[in-house]
């Protein structure tokens, strides 16, 4: 086997993903579009058996444009799991609040139909502020969103979008 062949095969394997669909069928392919992710009561990705919710991660050419990440262990997460049985997930469609150990509200995350809608976070009473408006897209570009970031009284605005340099932040 030649080095070029081995490189091509390893690149192909690196760009392939295995994921579970809603009916737990296992599929391997290069990801494009929205894919189901199962979430626990802290809105952390997990296996379906441990989940209360499900939502969607967005991929383009096998790379995540937006995906769910684990919550910091030091944060308490408030979600409404009333009437939801573990292992029988429902579509995430609520506002999640995350608090620090001292009771300070760190972030408020609103999800609609399993996708992020609006995030508002602040790192301490006078700390960094981030506001992400997922419902505002750049020229209807799927995966793009508008956001503000900075210190209280001096927020800067950006678009997270696909441009000449790929998926990055560009000044608004």
pLDDT-derived band of residue 39, with 50, 70 and 90 as boundaries?
A: very high
Question: Is pLDDT at 48 greater than 90 in this prediction?
Answer: yes
pLDDT of residue 5: 33
Residue 5, Ramachandran bin (φ over 0: left; ψ between -120 and 50: alpha; else beta) = alpha
Question: Is pLDDT at 36 greater than 50 in this prediction?
Answer: yes
Each residue's pLDDT tens digit, 153-171? 899 999 999 999 899 999 9
- Cα gap 4→47, rounded to integer Å: 37
Each residue's pLDDT tens digit, 115-154? 999 999 988 778 899 999 999 999 999 999 999 999 998 9
Is the Cβ–Cβ distance between 19 and 35 less than 8 Å? yes
The encoded tokens of residue 163 equal 């441009």
Q: Among residues 136, 135, 137, 131, which one has the least CA distance to residue 162?
A: 137
Is the Cβ–Cβ distance between 145 and 158 less than 8 Å? no
Each residue's pLDDT tens digit, 71-123? 777 778 888 888 999 999 999 999 999 998 888 898 999 999 999 999 999 88
Place of tokens 């609040």: 97
Maximum separation of any 2 CA atoms in the chain, in Å = 61
Q: What is the pTM of this model?
A: 0.77
The encoded tokens of residue 25 equal 């069928």
- Cα gap 55→138, rounded to integer Å: 22
Question: Is pLDDT at 18 greater than 70 in this prediction?
Answer: no
pLDDT of residue 14: 32
């Amino acid at each position: 086997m030649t080095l070029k062949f081995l490189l091509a095969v390893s690149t192909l394997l690196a760009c392939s993903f295995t994921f579970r669909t809603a009916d737990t069928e296992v599929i391997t392919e290069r990801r494009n579009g929205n894919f189901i992710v199962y979430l626990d009561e802290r809105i952390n990705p997990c296996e379906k058996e441990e989940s209360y919710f499900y939502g969607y991660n967005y991929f383009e050419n096998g790379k995540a444009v937006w995906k769910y990440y684990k919550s910091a262990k030091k944060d308490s997460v408030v979600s409404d799991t009333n009437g939801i049985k573990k292992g029988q997930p429902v579509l995430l469609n609520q506002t999640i609040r995350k608090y620090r150990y001292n009771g300070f509200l760190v972030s408020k995350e609103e999800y609609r139909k399993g996708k992020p809608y609006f995030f508002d976070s602040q790192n301490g009473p006078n700390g960094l502020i981030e506001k992400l408006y997922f419902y505002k897209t750049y020229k209807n570009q799927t995966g793009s969103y508008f956001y503000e970031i900075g210190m209280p009284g001096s927020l800067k605005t950006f678009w997270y979008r696909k441009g000449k340099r790929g998926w990055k932040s560009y000044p608004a």
